[in-house]
């Protein structure tokens, strides 16, 4: 489905982590299309430059910061520059995540730690900075990226193994609920989106190998297709907008019915 640009987040300041590629880039571009000014962050400077270029072509103000969001000091510096640039922050999207731990019987400790750190510690560090600011302003939206993997993903389990990722994405659901309850009285809404299999440059080659297998992502998805980055960006946009004013503490599955 094609969407025509509008003003669903007009005038809002939105910070999107992991905006150099895939779902994060699509979210940043979609929020920009709907009138937001952006802060984009990633460790991939080249990809980030391309996202910045596309936002600028669309006429959107953008501050681009190359940083590792699993580390405390760069995250503090990131939020300080965002506030110095725009004076406030209305929307945080914690998109950074991913990683693989392999089958449990041979999983390496460093891979487990990496996956938990990438998905959970990054969300904690960024949310803590945003929450302090939004709580004071009594306004804000935080959207986290969970995953269908929070309940286990059959094709990943059978063919690859990634229980660390399932654990981290289930933790994102609990984190989202806990933080939503803490911030509710301050007018800050906190939700998560849990994507099913989403085609990106990174995921496409893997999906091509397994998509038609018995437990592959197409057969295991009731809507019988792999999702698009636009499917996820639309859901994040909704939760980030004023339309979702009475929704907090929810994990919205965008997973084709799975
Ligand atoms: N693609 C899917 O099928 C799918 C499904 C469910 C959930 N998700 C979740 O959606 C989110 C985005 O997924 P994606 O497939 O677009 O991922 P991706 O790997 O394509 O993009 C993630 C981005 O994060 C950046 N990044 C990695 N480590 C970083 C760090 N330490 N600091 C800053 N940036 C860092 C990467 O450079 C990359 O640009 C993730 O949280 C992922 O777990 C994806």
Which residue ranges make up each domain of the chain? 13-254
Distance of CA 14 to the CA centre of its chain: 12
Catalytic residue among 86, 158, 159, 165: 165
**Which residue lies with its CA nearest to atom 17 of ligand 1?**
22
Q: What is the 3-state secondary structure (H, E, C) of the chain?
A: CCCCCCCCCCCCEEEEECCCCHHHHHHHHHHHHCCCEEEEEECCHHHHHHHHHHHHHCCCCEEEEECCCCCHHHHHHHHHHHHHHHCCCCEEEECCCCCCCECHHHCCHHHHHHHHHHHHHHHHHHHHHHHHHHHHHCCEEEEEECCHHHHCCHHHHHHCCEHHHHHHHHHHHHHHHHHHHHHHHHCEEEEEEEECCECCCCCHHHHHHHCCCCCCCCCCCCCCCCECHHHHHHHHHHHHCHHHCCCCCCEEEECCCC
Is residue 165 annotated as a catalytic residue, yes or no? Answer: yes
Q: pLDDT 10s per residue in the chain (258 long)?
A: 445 679 999 999 999 999 999 999 999 999 999 999 999 999 999 999 999 999 999 999 999 999 999 999 999 999 999 999 999 999 999 999 999 999 999 999 999 999 999 999 999 999 999 999 999 999 999 999 999 999 999 999 999 999 999 999 999 999 999 999 999 999 999 999 999 999 999 999 999 999 889 889 999 999 999 999 999 999 999 999 999 999 999 999 999 999
Q: Which tokens is 187 given?
A: 């007018």
The atom of ligand 1 lying closest to the CA of 69 is 32
**Ligand 1: centre distance to CA 18 (Å):** 6
The total of other beta-carbon atoms located within 10 Å of residue 67's CB is 18
The atom of ligand 1 lying closest to the CA of 202 is 20
Residues near ligand 1 (Cβ within 6 A):
17-18, 20-24, 42-44, 47, 68-70, 95-98, 118, 145, 147, 195, 197-198, 200, 202-203
**Ligand 1: centre distance to CA 35 (Å):** 24
Topology (CATH level 3) of domain 13-254? Rossmann fold (3.40.50)
Q: Can you give the pTM of this predicted structure?
A: 0.98
């Amino acid at each position: 489905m094609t969407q025509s640009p509008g003003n669903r987040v007009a005038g809002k300041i939105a910070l999107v982590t992991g905006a150099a590629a895939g779902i994060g880039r699509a979210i940043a571009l979609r929020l920009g299309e709907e009138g937001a000014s952006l802060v984009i962050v990633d460790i991939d400077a080249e990809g980030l430059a391309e996202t910045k270029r596309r936002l600028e072509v669309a006429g959107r103000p953008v501050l681009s910061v190359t940083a590792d969001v699993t580390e405390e000091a760069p995250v503090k510096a990131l939020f300080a520059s965002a506030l110095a640039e725009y004076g406030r922050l209305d929307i945080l999207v914690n998109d950074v995540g991913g990683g693989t731990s392999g089958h449990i019987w041979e999983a390496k400790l460093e891979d487990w730690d990496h996956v938990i750190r990438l998905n959970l510690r990054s969300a904690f560090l960024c949310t803590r900075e945003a929450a302090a600011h939004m709580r004071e302003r009594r306004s804000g939206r935080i959207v986290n990226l969970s995953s269908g993997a929070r309940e286990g993903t059959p094709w990943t389990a059978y063919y690859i193994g990634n229980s660390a990722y399932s654990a981290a994405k289930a933790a994102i659901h609990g984190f989202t609920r806990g933080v939503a309850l803490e911030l509710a009285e301050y007018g800050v809404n906190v939700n998560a989106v849990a994507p099913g299999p989403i085609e990106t440059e990174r995921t496409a080659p893997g999906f091509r190998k397994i998509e038609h297998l018995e437990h592959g992502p197409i057969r295991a998805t009731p809507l019988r297709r792999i999702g698009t980055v636009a499917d996820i960006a639309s859901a994040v946009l909704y939760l980030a907008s004023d339309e979702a004013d009475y929704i907090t503490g929810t994990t919205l599955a965008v997973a084709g019915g799975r």
